Each structure stands twice: as C-alpha cells, then as structure tokens.
A and B are shown apart, each in its own frame.
Chain A
Amino acid sequence: MSSAQTDNGPLLAVSGLGKRFGGFVALENIDLTIATGERVGLIGPNGSGKSTLVNCLCGTLRNETGAVLFDGRPVDGLIAHERTRLGLARSFQLPKPFHTLNLIDNLRVPLLYTVNARPGHHLSDEQVAARCAELLEAVALADKARRLPRDLTQVEMRKLELARAVATEPRLLFADEAMAGLSPSEVEEIIAVLLRLNQQGITIVLIEHIMRAVMSFSTRLVVLVAGQKIADGMPQEVVRNPEVERAYLGE
C-alpha cells in the first residue's frame, strides 16, 4: 500500500461538505470520518446523494464547500487520477469496463498508471503480468483473461469492476452498488470478495440498496436522506432509528 499511516487519526475525514447542482442542493453539510479497517455501509433512498458523495470524495465532481482529508492530507482540488494514486479507489455503479481491451489490459491500466506512478514503485512487465493473473484469479475470471468485457455475464462484469479498483492497491475503496441486479447467490459471492479485501487491509465503503447485504457486511452504517446525513452508528441501532424508518417507509 502507499505511504504508512501518519498517526492514529482517521483515514478519511470529511467536514461540512456541500454540493449543489444549480438550485438543487445535492449534499448539505456532510460530516463523516472513517477509520482504517472499517466496513462502512452507506445507504439512503434513490436520489439521496450517495453517488454524488462518492463522486465528490473521488474527485469526479467538485464540492463547493467543506474539506476532505485523506490520511491527514487535504485532497480538495486534486483531480480524480491524483486521488486514485493516493490510495482512494472506486468502482462504478454501472460497470465501466474498457470495452475494446481484454481483461488483462483492463487491469494493466491501473497497474501501469497508478501502481507504477507511485514513487519508489516499479513493476516490471513480468510482475505486471503476474499481478494481472493474481487479480483475475482472486475474482475467478482467470479463464476469461483474454476475452473482451462484452463476453462477460453481469456478475463477472461487477467482479472485473472490483478487480480493476483493487488493482490500484487502494487503502480506501468505495464500492458503488457493486451488487445491483444480481441474484442472491451472486450477492453472496461479491460479499465474500469484499470481505476478503477488507481482511487484506482495505477499508471499504459499500453503497448498496440490498439491505441483507449491507447488514451482513457493515460494521457501521451511515444513512443519507435528501442530501443530509441523518444517522451514523452501529447497523442494528441505525435501522431501528425512527428517522431512518420514516425515510424508508414513510410516515
């Protein structure tokens, strides 16, 4: 992984983050801290700002207010690829594979442009090839290494998306709806992959609608409703929170 952690401060510290699209307030005054090793579930109704938050934290969108500290270092103003190189990775809600590249080349992109771009790191061609094989093996896609993404099933596409994010050797991974549209057994598969990654030391934020998956995965739950954080705590307590119930089930 990249640099050693500076102290025992949080891995990610967000304070007062706000984002508006024209007159629409997408996010308002979000405070959030995430410690190393955590498994955080981020939930909220459609349109509550979950993906917008991820986009702001990863540098795809610019937040107008607030500050984001990653590993004690301010990352406001850094563009997406610079944040990726610092160790902030994401997978996309709709898988975005490089569709003209085979699976190996899909993984070579983050290996050559992120891992090899970090000072003091340089993988040789052989090491890159070995790392690709290893990453594909980890998500059971080794058999399709030379296929194009269009030959993959939906669950395999999700796995490729995760493998590509993990290839950047992140310290914090945002998995944005990594399980949308999958069958229950496929959801189990992805959760197993995510748990294994967490054991390897990657802090994970899971954005998800499937409550069964969120509850079995998360050690902490954060709830967004209409651009505001309304709850943050132990999963069992958060789901019993009357405000959360109201947001999901109505009055």
Chain B
Amino acid sequence: MKIGVFWLIAAAVGLALVVLTRLYFTNEYFFFAAYVVLQYVVLSTAWNILGGYTGYINFGTGAFFAIGAYSSVVLHKLPALLKTFDMVIPAIPLPVMILVGGIVSGMVGLGTGYLTLRLRGVFFAIATLALAVVVQTLIVNWDYVGGSRGIYMIRPPKAPLGGSYIQYLYALMMALCVISVGIARWIERSRLGLGFAAIRDDELAAEAGGVPTLRLKLIATTLSGALMGMAGAPLPYYVTYLEPASTFNLAYAVNSVAMPVIGGMTSWVGPILGAILLGTIQQLGSVGFFLDLNIPPTFNLLIVGVLLILFVIIMPNGIMGLISARQRRRATIIETALQQQRAA
C-alpha cells in the first residue's frame, strides 16, 4: 500500500468513526471515555517511536504530556496577559494550542535527547524518570499556571464543529490519532525506520554501517516528545480543572510503556491494539461498569500490572509479535518445502 493511500484510508476511518459515534451515541459519557482511549493511542504510538523503534525506554511520558497541557494553559491566559499591556488579541483556538504544545514538547524532547542519549539502557530510562520530576517541580512552583493548587480552565462557549465541546475534543483527538499513526507507519517503512531498527539492534554495528546514530536518536526523541505534547494540549479543556498531581499521574508513564509492550513494539499496529485493549478495560473499570461493583480507582493500575506480567510471560513480543512469529514459521515451512522440491 502506498503511503498516500494509507493516509487517505486512515483519515477516512477517523472521520467515519467521528461521524458514526455522533449519530449512534447520545450519552456524553461515551465521548468522555473514548477521548481517554484515543489519547492513549496517541501516547503509546508516540512512545513507541522512541521505545519500540529505536529501543530507548522512556519513563518521562508524563513530562512531555504535561508540557503540552501547560503550554495550552499559558496560551489560554495569554490574551488576558496581553490586555494588561493594552494589546488585544482574540482567544487562541485549540488547534493552535495543540500545534504550539507539540513544538514546545518537541524542543524539550530534542534538548533532553541531546543531554541523555549518551546513556544507554536502564540509565537512559532513569534519566527520563528524572526529567518527569524536574518538570513537575517547575510546574508546581510556577504560580502563573496555577502552581500546586491547580487552575480552572473555562472552555470556549461554543464548539466549532457543532455538538458539545467534548465531542469536539473527541474529534480533535481522533485527528491526532490519524496523524501519529500515519507518522509511525511512514517511519516504519522508510529509510529512517530502518536506521532506527539498526540502532535498536546494535548501535556500534549501525555506526559501522554508516548510520548517523546520534542524529537519528534526536529525531526520534523530538518526534516522540512532540506527539506526546500534542496529546496533552487539549487536556486542560477536557478536565476543566488542571492540577499537577493528576497531570503528572504515574498512570501516563506506566500506560504508555505497557500498551506498546502488550500490543507489540515492532509494528505501528501494536500500540493501537494495546491502547484500545488496556484503555477500554480501564475505562470500564473506572465506571465500575460491571454489575455496579464497587471498584476502587486504583483498580486501573492493578489491571495494567497484571496484564503486563501475563504478557511478558506468555507473549513477550506482544499481540503483533505472536502474529508475525506465526507468519514467519509458515514462510519458513513453505521455503524449505520449495528448496526440497528444487533439490529433488
């Protein structure tokens, strides 16, 4: 399938999902829940560009996500701030906030990449964990964006696409899904993806083969960070009350690692499968959907933990890994049969 064709199909699927769900679901809660699942599709796809393709495990998803969210807060307050200097600008539309959130997180991705990519394996992971702590400390102490007590975000009065504002947020997140999945799939099939895979498998051998490893790793951290920031940018309008403790929730980091692992890290399909599977279970869990059971909120992280352990034991390469292993086995059998035939 040509790249252009895939983009068209992905966009069509995204649009169809937005239109159909609007026709069939009248309950607002559906869009609240679906938004979170879609947000995880973006986060796990973004995580996988660095973690799955180049093999650098990032525990700092929360930081990039929050940078996106808080850059939206700044942009939201910008007209009021400028007014004190007698400058009048209209309220900044959300798509612009998403773009800016992506750029800011991408820059932070580039910067942290430059500082930390000399570290490998677990040391890189620890450095990204530290990044999350640093960013959280900065936000908690930054009064303009609400500091530790948080900030109320008044949604714009009208949703640009008709329907409720939450439906608009849902449609935007769907668009981000299409964009991030399209980018991931393009990377996978391009020269860039081949270079990423070479880095993941053996960095010295990649260099010996002419791969500019540092430059490629910086591209990966920048892209991955930018997409995470874009996923976080609409969050303030989604929650309407943004505060650091929940924005930097461990769940973002844990989920965006667990979802690609469960779905499979070597293909763009894996993070989608993992995000839909885990995200949906968590949404059902957080409603206490089943039989009005009194399910505690920590149930969500428990599910992630249990599933992660099960998958690491049963399917270490995720759902997609299982499928591709079966395909390879079949190909091998056919190949040997053909060779024997030729020999006979």
Contacts and interface: CB of A to CB of B under 8 A. Distances in A.
B202 A98 contact: yes
Contacts of B202: 96-99
Interface string A58-97: 1110000000000000000001110011000110100011
Contacts of B332: 147, 151
A112 interface: yes
A92 B208 contact: yes
B265 to A, nearest CB: 10
Interface string A113-124: 110010000000
Interface stretch (A15-23, A42-50, A100-108): A100-108
B77 interface: no
A99 B201 contact: yes
A112 B191 contact: yes
B205 A98 contact: yes
Nearest to B201: A98
Contact of B331 (A60, A97, A114, A146): A146
A59 B213 CA distance: 13
Contacts of A100: 197, 200-201, 266
Interface centre among A97, A112, A143 (most CB of B within 10 A): A112
Contact of B339 (A79, A110, A143): A143
Contacts of B328: 148
Contacts of B195: 109, 112-113
Contact of B201 (A59, A101, A147): A101
B194 A60 contact: no
Contacts of B197: 98, 100-101, 105
B200 to A, nearest CB: 7
Nearest to A112: B191
A98 B266 CA distance: 14
B339 A84 contact: no
Given A100-B200, A101-B198, A109-B195, A146 B335 contact: yes
B198 A109 contact: yes
Nearest to A165: B208
Contacts of B266: 100
Given A105-B194, A108-B194, A143-B339, A113 B201 contact: no
Contact of B210 (A85, A97, A147): A85
B28 interface: no
B206 interface: yes
Contacts of A79: 207, 212, 214
A81 B210 contact: yes
A170 to B, nearest CB: 10
A89 to B, nearest CB: 7
A93 to B, nearest CB: 11
A171 interface: no
Contact of B206 (A85, A99, A109, A117): A109
Contacts of A114: 209-210
A241 to B, nearest CB: 33
A25 B212 CA distance: 30
Contacts, number: 88
A168 interface: yes
Interface residues of A, number: 34
A125 B201 CA distance: 23
B211 interface: yes
B190 to A, nearest CB: 10
B322 interface: no
B204 interface: yes
A220 interface: no
B241 to A, nearest CB: 44
A96 B200 contact: no
Nearest to A143: B339
A113 B209 contact: yes
A90 B328 CA distance: 31
Looking at B194, B197, B209, B211, which has the most chain A CB atoms within 10 Å of its CB?
B209
Contacts of A158: none
Interface in A118-173: 143, 146-148, 151, 164-165, 167-168
B55 to A, nearest CB: 10
Contacts of B331: 146
A164 B195 CA distance: 14
Contacts of A92: 204-205, 208
Nearest to B215: A81
Nearest to B342: A143
A60 B209 contact: no
A114 B332 CA distance: 31
A200 B241 CA distance: 70
A60 B210 contact: no
B323 to A, nearest CB: 15
Contacts of A99: 201-202
A84 B198 contact: no
A60 B212 contact: no
19 contacts: A79-B207, A79-B214, A80-B204, A81-B210, A81-B211, A85-B210, A92-B204, A97-B201, A98-B197, A98-B205, A100-B197, A100-B201, A101-B198, A109-B195, A109-B209, A113-B212, A114-B210, A117-B210, A151-B332
Given A81-B210, A101-B197, 9 more contacts: A81-B206, A84-B209, A92-B204, A97-B205, A98-B197, A101-B201, A109-B206, A109-B211, A146-B335
